[in-house]
Chain A
Amino acid sequence: MKRILRAGLAALAMAATATASLADWNPPGPIKMLIGFRAGGGADTQARLIAEALEDRLGWKIIPEQVTGKGGLNLAAALRDAPSDGTVIGLAVTETLGYNMAAANTDMTPSDFTGIATTAGFQMGIVALSTKGWTDFNDVIAAAKAGEQIRFGAMSPKLADLAYLLGKANGVAFNIVVVRGGKAVMDGVTAGDLDLGFMAGIQNKGVIAGDLVNLASALSVPLALSPDAPTLSDLGVPFNADGYFVFIAPAGLPEEARAALSAAIADVVTDESTKAHAFISRAFGAPTVISGGDLSQMLARDYDGATELLDASAE
């Protein structure tokens, strides 16, 4: 029995030394990668392509597992109590640790987690069919003021709050419809069940083809594809939907593990030869890697800022 055990340890040690030139740290066992998104969607595909590349490059063993629901909070709850040795990580969105955590009746805060790295940001726009005849969001406000009932699709409570504040700031009321996922908003808009809605990059192809139009940027900056579309602050709302896909681990992750995981993920998503890079570029615009202290600060800032948004939209 001891011989088998030693053989197992030797195999682990060999795997470790073989990749020592790539990273100073190696996981002590297989890594469980929790994915907070439904299987087969864009976020899930992204996570699995990154896992595949990490396995190929570093010899690490990664076992993906879906933990969906409650805007990522189910994933966060599962991750919080997991061992903090780099063998359990999760892919969520920054909104999970920000607005969703602040709005929910939970004792979790971002300090229960270690941010590893973001992989991509959202090109979050407010989008309608071009056949509507609207060119930017001011046309929507004019239509609402003229008495048209506007059905506004959103895929999260935070976005529903932003839609509500957009109406409030401009003296109109929207019929806000919360659906599951950006794909559902796109389907609703395309089918005519919704007049407009938030889309986080999924609209790009349609905008390029001229079928869809970005009426506004829901980010703090203009959209890459539609730089002339007004931002939320231009429309009188001092909040935004800036957000990223982010890998997180439980609090207390050793610094060498955090640095190695972060560097490995960054290498995969920024390397143009990987499938993960190609997919992220196609689905989400381009990879965006934020890690280390910058990421910790951003997560803490998002959580604090969420409280202000909650207060403003509760009025």
Chain B
Amino acid sequence: MRDRSHLVLGLGVAAFALLLLTLWIPLDAETGLIERVRRRVSIGDALAPSIAGGFLLLGGLLLALAERPGRGTPRLTGALLGHIAISLAIIALATLIMRYAGPLSVALANPGGAEPLEYRLLRDTPPWKHIGFLLGGVVLIAGLIWQVERHLTLRMLLLALLATLAMIALYDLPFDDLLLPPNGDV
């Protein structure tokens, strides 16, 4: 069977670019490609993403129509796609845990409590500010190790924990005004 991976990938990218150009940018950008403000023409919000979308479309079409797999090019197999899907699922799960573990912990620790307490107000207070980053970080690192090794030992989990703690030590401890994810956005 002829390898159609270039065609599939190229058409996929082109479809995404079309979606970007026809739906996402018009819905999300406030001004057009160029903006006329007070006798002056300036660059609008939509110009840079539209150019990027144009290049994506061109690249996708080139890949789909002009590119042919050479000798030794890996085929796009179900196993490879599965690998990408599992990686993305691990990253998505870790991101969700990172974002919501802290708020959930506050809600559980203070069920219908006397004082209305929000995670937002504790986002710079230990240990609350570390819960999401720590759990999400451990799940991300341990998950990716598991994906590669196909098994998980206590040693690997400890390694994930140590790596996450090292990142906290590196970014959180020395900088007073720096917030670990997700605390800048809550």
Contact = CB atoms under 8 A, between A and B. Distances in A.
A131 interface: no
A12 B126 CA distance: 12
Interface in B3-52: 30-31, 37-40
Contacts of A12: 125
B121 interface: yes
Contact of A105 (B30, B39, B117, B122): B30
B149 interface: no
A103 B37 CA distance: 8
B184 A30 contact: no
Contacts of B37: 103, 157
B interface majority secondary structure: loop
B38 A8 contact: no
Nearest to A32: B184
Interface in A144-189: 157, 160-161, 164, 178
A61 interface: yes
Contacts of B106: 5
Contacts of A83: 120
Contacts of B38: 103, 157, 160-161, 313-314
Q: Which of B30, B117, B121, B123 has the most CB of A within 10 A?
A: B121
Contacts of A29: 118, 120-124
Interface string A57-86: 000010111000000000000000001000
A48 to B, nearest CB: 9
B127 interface: yes
Given A157-B38, A160-B38, A87 B120 contact: yes
Contacts of B81: none
Interface stretch (B65-73, B87-95, B108-116, B164-172): B108-116
A191 interface: no
A1 interface: yes
B135 to A, nearest CB: 15
A63 B128 contact: no
A63 B115 contact: no
A9 B121 CA distance: 11
B121 A5 contact: no
A162 B120 CA distance: 44
Interface in A1-17: 1-2, 4-5, 8-9, 11-12
Given A2-B109, A5-B109, A63-B177, A87 B121 contact: yes
Contact of A157 (B30, B40, B108): B40
Given A5-B110, A65-B184, A178 B40 contact: yes
A198 to B, nearest CB: 15
Contacts of B108: 1
Interface string A10-38: 01100000000000000011100000000
A8 B117 CA distance: 11
A12 B125 CA distance: 10
A86 to B, nearest CB: 11
Contact of B179 (A2, A63, A313): A63
A280 B177 CA distance: 22
Contacts of B117: 5, 9
Interface of B: 30-31, 37-40, 105-106, 108-110, 115, 117-118, 120-125, 127-128, 177, 179, 184
Given A1-B108, A87-B121, A105-B30, 4 more contacts: A4-B127, A9-B115, A63-B124, A157-B40
18 contacts: A1-B109, A4-B109, A4-B127, A5-B109, A5-B110, A8-B125, A8-B128, A12-B125, A29-B118, A29-B121, A30-B123, A65-B184, A83-B120, A103-B38, A105-B31, A157-B38, A157-B40, A164-B39
Instruction: Give 7 nearest A-B pairs by CB, closest first.
Output: A29-B121, A1-B109, A30-B124, A5-B109, A157-B38, A28-B121, A8-B125
